[in-house]
A and B are shown apart, each in its own frame.
Chain A
Amino acid sequence: MKTFKLGGVHPAANKLSAGAPIEVAAVPAMVAIPMAQNLGAPSKAIVAKGDKVKVGTVIGEPGGFLSSYVHSSVSGTVDKVDVVEDATGKKVPAVFIKVEGDEWEESINRTKEIVRDIKLDKQQIIDKVKEMGIVGMGGATFPTQVKLTPPPTAKPECVIINAVECEPYLTSDHSLMLAHPEEICIGVQILEKAMGVNKAYIGIEANKPDAIELMRKTVAAGYPEIEVVPLQLKYPQGGEKQLINAVIGREVPSGGLPIATGALVQNVGTAFAVYEAVQKNKPLIERIVTVTGKSVAKPSNFLARLGVPIADLIAAAGGLPEDTGKVISGGPMMGKAMPDTNSYMVKGCSGILVMKNEEARRREAGPCIKCAKCVHACPMGLQPNFLSRYSELNMLAEAEEERIYDCIECGSCQFSCPANRPLLDWIRQGKPKVMGILRQRAADAKAKADAEKAAKEAAAAK
């Protein structure tokens, strides 16, 4: 079975909610839809207090090139445009909507019927994806229309669907595949059409045999250009670079775009959202989210509207247990610890993980015994022990030489360190500093080249 070539670790899978059906989460009396739900510039709210909205009404416009539309996930009246805290505690603007009934925009096809015929052409698909506010659903929330428009030098060859779900605990992608296999395949075809390619792979880790079998069966029934690729269980296989490496054996060049390998990677949830957007005219107003944890009474997969309070979802899964020490947005390897449960559902939230007090605490760090387990664990071929030390001592030239900028922050090093050293904490301190130096150097070089060119032209003009 295939997998990526370097490093990787095996955290306990703990897929507690695997097999739990997708439940529709209740719509509360009031939702707060944050205007910063994508990577890049936040969206601009275009509604004001008192405006009536329906499910699917645009309430936020892109705030830049790398940005997205945001739609109302409920019908009702805009109560206020205010500030809320996102999962990391950062303040972001949000539209509060008082829910009245459940009236949808008429343009949305709400029937259960599967629409197989793709009528839109390449550009229309990209425009539609933008209009419907689709972003990367794996957690990175990169605006999909931008990803579907690679630089003209790129030569796309295939689409790779990320259905790896290598983060422990999370099962949202798994449950999506079991519920909507054919829609996903049509979504993949739409992505192929948008990229002008005729080959697609769906990468699924071997701990989801039912999903592998179902997707294979679905593909065999009429999607011959799609290949389901079972992958050996190993974290961080869902990382874009690792997935491309695992599926087609190529390596994304350091500092380059993934598309340089000819592969466009999209999350399986994104493929489904693209299907709904293009075939059903449905904007991204809800997503599947896993609410789980060892102490959670009923680990669940919810289909939740955007803007629903996180606390409501935890309550629906049995409530926040007494001994909770940490609540994480996302999985335990790369998710973000939330300061409280007062934030709201967003497009990138694939899971809410509740950890007990005893699980939440880090053990005390000891001296590095140079066992090299971090070196063996690193999927990028880095030496995290040195990177961490260089960051700690602010030795940025050495950190650059050790390629700190290649770090994908997967956490495999810190996970495997027997001395419990906070390796990634330190690397995160040094990496932006080195990136800043690299950017400054590139800018200086460009300025110098421009000045020389201008001088040459001036000389030629004389």
Chain B
Amino acid sequence: MLNVSLSPHVHSGNSTQKCMLQVLIGLCPALLWSFYQFGSGAVIVTLASVAFCVLFEFLITRFLLKTPSTLGDLSAIVTGVLLAFNVPSNLPIWIIAIGALVAIGVGKMAFGGLGCNIFNPALVGRVFLLIAYPVQMTTWPTQAGYADVETGATPLALIGQYINGVANVQLPEIMDCLVGQTGGSLGEVSACALILGGIYMLVRKTITWHIPVAILVSAFVFAFLFFGFDATIAVEELLCGGMMLGAIFMATDYVSSPMNNRSQLIYGCCIGFLTIVIRRYGAYPEGMSFAILIMNAFTPLLNKYVKPTRFGVVKK
């Protein structure tokens, strides 16, 4: 008896698991840099975050939803690594557990699991922690280690102080931001490593260039306009804080970003704009997470109203 089905009869061989694996490989350079920069702290926080995310997804599918396990698609691991990338490397483990529960439980599974969530799960977890535990979430280690490490200001905080005329503030060195020898969230410090991972994902066609490039270009333009027409500061705004991490890995999250080139460009430009506005005029020195979450909410609208270039349709 022969199989009968409709065409196509062949498949590219791509799978959700492969896509997620490519994202994980893309995250590797930044992860390795964080191990170097923050030492045991980075290792402990990352392992804890991944373990809790996987554990909570397992428990929820097993005991709440009573559905087959979805761990095989690797998306829980991606969320775990991204959550770790967005917190300080000395964050207490119990706070990480709460963040993972919010990310997986509220951010993802409550909406119906992979593919159904409106917001980026890791950012939901991160922003929850930022609001719930503002002190722990804004204490930035500047050296390797987990407990009792020296902490200091992030480059974004320095830029903020500089622009507001605080005396004796030096702008961070561009080279330090590029390499990642600054304080900040675990995975965000090395622009170089993040860009390297981004190039890998572009080459493997995991993502397209539209969202990252739109974010970076728009952020540069608005940073130049809002931060006193200073190109150095504008460049540092791109290299520091969560900009690269957000543009390359968070905003490009498949599920919560729009689906065609045009809507992705609009989405990216809005994220860049919102980030800079929040950084310059908001209460927080960092605006990437909020900007992405805000634009996540607009994704269904962009999907509905922004259509791709059609073949054979002449614009009237």
Residues of A participating in the B interface, judged by any CB pair closer than 8 Å: 5-6, 9, 11-12, 89, 168, 241, 245, 251-254, 256, 324-328, 332-341, 353, 355, 357, 359-363, 366-373, 375-376, 378-383, 385-386, 402-403, 406, 409, 411-412, 414-420, 424-425, 428
B19 and A418 within 8 A (CB): yes
Interface size class of B (residues with CB under 8 A): 35 or more
The yes or no answer to B301 lying at the interface (CB within 8 A) is no
Residue of B nearest to A401 (CB): B307
- Chain B positions 34 through 55: 1 when the CB is less than 8 Å from some CB of chain A, otherwise 0: 0000000000000000000000
17 contacts between A and B (CB under 8 A): A6-B311, A253-B312, A254-B311, A332-B9, A337-B3, A337-B5, A338-B4, A363-B11, A368-B115, A376-B261, A380-B311, A381-B311, A406-B310, A412-B8, A415-B12, A417-B11, A424-B7
B10 and A168 within 8 A (CB): yes
**Which residues of chain B come closer than 8 Å to A415, judged between CB atoms?**
8, 10-12
B19 and A251 within 8 A (CB): no
Contact of A418 among B10, B18, B113 (CB under 8 A): B18
B310 and A381 within 8 A (CB): yes
List the 6 closest pairs (A to B, CB-CB), nearest first. A411-B8, A367-B115, A381-B310, A372-B259, A371-B254, A332-B10
**Which residues of chain A come closer than 8 Å to B15, judged between CB atoms?**
363, 418-420
Contact of B255 among A360, A363, A369, A375 (CB under 8 A): A369
CA distance A355 to B3 in the complex (A): 10
**Which residues of chain A come closer than 8 Å to B311, judged between CB atoms?**
5-6, 241, 245, 251, 254, 379-381, 406
**Which residues of chain B come closer than 8 Å to A368, judged between CB atoms?**
115
Chain B stretch 65-90: residues in CB contact (< 8 A) with chain A: 73, 75
**Which residues of chain B come closer than 8 Å to A251, judged between CB atoms?**
311-312, 314
CA distance A321 to B18 in the complex (A): 32
Q: A327-B2, A335-B7, A371-B19 are in contact. List 11 more A-B contacts (CB 8 A).
A: A256-B312, A333-B8, A339-B4, A359-B10, A361-B3, A381-B309, A383-B259, A416-B12, A417-B11, A418-B14, A425-B6
Q: Closest CB-CB distance, B300 to chain A, in whole Å?
A: 11
A385 and B312 within 8 A (CB): no
**Which residues of chain B come closer than 8 Å to A381, judged between CB atoms?**
308-311, 313
A367 and B113 within 8 A (CB): yes
**Which residues of chain A come closer than 8 Å to B113, judged between CB atoms?**
367
**Which residues of chain A come closer than 8 Å to B14, judged between CB atoms?**
373, 416-418
- Chain B positions 213 through 249: 1 when the CB is less than 8 Å from some CB of chain A, otherwise 0: 0000000000000000000000000000000000000
Residue of A nearest to B6 (CB): A425
B312 and A241 within 8 A (CB): yes
A414 and B8 within 8 A (CB): yes
CA distance A328 to B208 in the complex (A): 34
A376 and B3 within 8 A (CB): no
The yes or no answer to B114 lying at the interface (CB within 8 A) is yes
Q: Closest CB-CB distance, A370 to chain B, in whole Å?
A: 5
Residue of B nearest to A260 (CB): B312
**Which residues of chain A come closer than 8 Å to B116, judged between CB atoms?**
367
Among B7, B8, B113, residue most surrounded by chain A Cβ atoms (within 10 Å)? B8
